[in-house]
Structure 1
Amino acid sequence: MTALTRPFRGLILAVQFLTRIPTPQVRDFHEDDIGRSAFWFPAVGLIVGLAVAVPVELLSDRPQLAALAGLVIWVWVTGALHIDGLGDVADALGASHRDPARYAAALKDPHMGAFGVVTVVIQLIVKFVLLSEAASQDLTWVLVLVPAWARWISLALPRLTTSLQAGLGERFGGQITWPTITVWVVGLSVASVLTEPVLLVAIPVAGLIAFYWHRRLGGVSGDGLGASTEVSESVLLIALVATTLG
């Protein structure tokens, strides 16, 4: 890493972890760097949102084609990282019957079962439909904020509840502070007020998701953070589209 890129080390690592976007190589990497890079997760969300919004805007006169292009870019640029977590969590929840030990054991199974496949398919259909609506309702550039808010929620969850098991979720949680969460919630809130205030629903959604994980399993795992990101994106898209219906 050159002297020019060193100040952006955390951002570069966050981009590497959350996306397939090429970045400068980080040579002197340490495991703790991943946890410290979590500060930049919402910024990566903005990058993802921009990558999705551009093709949707370019094809907005054909909403279904715009939605397909946006969805393909969304899946590609993130490497289906969170979708994979959503599928794993769906399988684990279906097999655990509210038992955290069985949930953790089910997450270790590398094969995806019926619960996971059905959940992933439904999630992709939901995003396709909502992107099509967003394209037809001239909401393209507001889409940039949706992945950013969703990654802010995943940033806040380790502080709003506990880590269910050792792993990336616990590593991130140990590095995330309330000042970090506050900085991003203020910045994203200002951007939302200036563009589409309904996206402020992300703040109570974070609390509801944390409450769900706490009541269901007593905490959240790394895969749970990924699944929560996907669910948050869908909820925010629904809220965004619903404001212009009727």
Structure 2
Amino acid sequence: MAKRIDVNNLNVYYGNFLAVEDISLAIEPRSVTAFIGPSGCGKSTFLRTLNRMHEVIPGARVEGEVLMDGINLYDSGVDPVAVRRHVGMVFQRPNPFPTMSIAENVLAGVKLNNKRMSRGDADDLVEGSLRGANLWDEVKDRLDKPGSSLSGGQQQRLCIARAIAIKPDVLLMDEPCSALDPISTLAIEDLIQELKNDYTIVIVTHNMQQAARVSDRTAFFNIAGTGKPGKLIEMNDTPVMFSTPSEKATEDYISGRFG
């Protein structure tokens, strides 16, 4: 578990439109990396290139490399479905499958990958994944109830349990707390701190305090104007980024002068 990611000269296109330009950065294993920046600057687009999720949009393509422990995820022989088994994703809004029970939601990704297992192994995986998402004690007596019956914060932790059930190496989170109340947000942030012991985590957030609280390193993205590509402005250890950033644009954004 927990892989290093190296991105080299990555450009992301939708048709002829250059959405993200010339990104090079390193993401350390067993750490939390936060992507910050104003809306529309390519943070989420770039995040989705790390498990090839952007490819579900027609015309999407990349130039450059995304290396996971030295293996280019965009080599011609690499199956994008296999990439997503190693690089899980949690989306902005909790999205449990409404017709599935809590237990079935946890196992959904495993079954999608055609993995057969005994009832005992399935039960163990459900419990282990829910414990990993700090949700087991809250739902262990109602595993047959719909996932959609849970609160918003519980649903998001259920989605995290579903993501870690497939035993990924990397976990991507696209604004995982934006739809949650402060108490649920705190629970997710505490969970992220625990999960980084086993996973490489990358999180997109618009919440500067959240980035400062949960991340080890922070990358600031910006855009020169409408129709221009998003760019990585700078990246550094989070305490340095929030105290002495190198670029004035970073300081302006973190201090709330724009964005």
For normalisation by structure 1, the TM-score amounts to 0.28
For normalisation by structure 2, the TM-score amounts to 0.27
Higher normalized contact order (CA 8 Å, seq sep 6+, divided by chain length) = 2
Q: Which has the higher helix share?
A: 1
Q: Which has the higher strand share?
A: 2
